[in-house]
Amino acid sequence: MSLALVGDIGGTHARFALWRDGRLEMPQVLETARFAGPEEAILDYLVGQGLEPLALEQVCLACAGPVESDPFRFTNNRWQISRAAFLSRLGLRQLLLINDFVAMALGVTRLPESELLPVCAGQGEAGRPCLVIGPGTGLGVSALLPDGAGGWRALPGEGGHVDLPLGTDREVALWQEMRRELGHVSAESVLSGAGLLRLYRVGCRLDGLAPELESAAAVSRAALAGDAPAAAALEQFCCWLGRVAGNHLLTLGARGGVYLAGGMLPCFPGFLQASGFARCFADKGVMSRYLDGIPVWLVTAEQPGLLGAGLALEMGLR
């Protein structure tokens, strides 16, 4: 395969790398806010590598959102892509757009065990689907389906925008506050960077406290340092992630296992393991036993989305 470019573009960061002979080369992370659009970001990346666009044969971009429309508009940033204009400006002959969590799902199929941290012990069932889910700027969800030939197909979707499930009186109270603010309360309304900050602020309001923290990163740092309101918010975040992941597992029959991915969770792996995630994941009433023994792993690899974009490009060429 000739030289290609792969990208994994979310709401906050755009990750790029070269793809050659089934391997990633020269990965780099750029902030989307610095650029007017993906073309400008790619040109900046190529200049940094001493390359011209004409050196590339193909580009595969994994993008946050449903990629069927043209132009494609990103869900959580202002960028958009018109396929014809993109190819013309960069002088390319092929552009493959895929959902970012399709790329994430394909990427985890190639990860070694050393880049998977156990969250719930168990043994996945051979030949059954797997769930891939993870919070970052938004909440990504995908499924891996066995292809019948020893490989996998990744299922695109927008499962991050399902309704937020409620399981306790505290969750009902938090939901009511968020509904007054947002109208529709999706899973992503909580399970994202903006969602963690929202959860912290709403929790403080319910408890009669003045919120002091101004970002999701600050909330997670304070939680790990023992700040009680921040720790309560992060604990509730993990519990809601468990509920949402368990719901998707029931829908998909994903008894092959669950992969937790995205940019947020690797910042607090120990907290996640000790949290109520596992309890809420399996809290499904008469179907609770269905989730017994289903393994859950935290993906700790640095660039699984870029790896998946390269694999998708090779699959598309075949």
| Segments making up each domain of the chain, as ranges | 4-104+303-317, 112-300
Residue 8 known to bind ligand: yes
Quick: pLDDT tens for 129-169: 999 999 998 999 999 999 988 889 999 889 999 999 999 99
Among 101, 202, 220, residue whose Cα is nearest residue 159: 101
Measured CA to CA, the distance from residue 314 to residue 21 in angstroms comes to 10
Give the pLDDT confidence score for residue 317 in this predicted structure. 52
Residue 12 known to bind ligand: yes
CB atoms within 10 A of CB 222: 19
Residue 266 CB contacts under 8 Å (≥ 6 apart), including other chains: 298, 299, 300
Look up the pTM and report it: 0.91
Would you say 81 and 97 are in contact if contact means Cβ atoms under 8 Å apart? yes
Strands 258-260 and 13-20: unpaired
CATH topology of domain 4-104+303-317: Nucleotidyltransferase; domain 5 (3.30.420)
Residue 242 known to bind ligand: no
Measured CA to CA, the distance from residue 99 to residue 142 in angstroms comes to 9
Among 224, 64, 38, 211, residue whose Cα is nearest residue 135: 64
pLDDT at 243 over 80: yes
What is the tally of helices (H) and strands (E) in the chain? 10, 13
Q: Tokens 């903006």 correspond to what residue?
A: 194
CATH topology of domain 112-300: Hexokinase; domain 1 (3.40.367)
3-class DSSP string for 100-131: HHHHHHHHHCCCCHHHEEEEECCCCCCCCCEE
Would you say 98 and 59 are in contact if contact means Cβ atoms under 8 Å apart? no
Q: Mean pLDDT over all residues of the chain?
A: 93
Residue 168 known to bind ligand: no
pLDDT at 82 over 70: yes
Measured CA to CA, the distance from residue 162 to residue 182 in angstroms comes to 14
Residue 137 known to bind ligand: no
Give the pLDDT confidence score for residue 66 in this predicted structure. 82
Count how many residues are written for the chain. Answer: 318
Measured CA to CA, the distance from residue 117 to residue 164 in angstroms comes to 26
Would you say 100 and 64 are in contact if contact means Cβ atoms under 8 Å apart? yes
pLDDT at 1 over 70: no
Strands 258-260 and 130-135: parallel
Residue 11 known to bind ligand: yes
Q: For residue 176, what is the DSSP state?
A: H
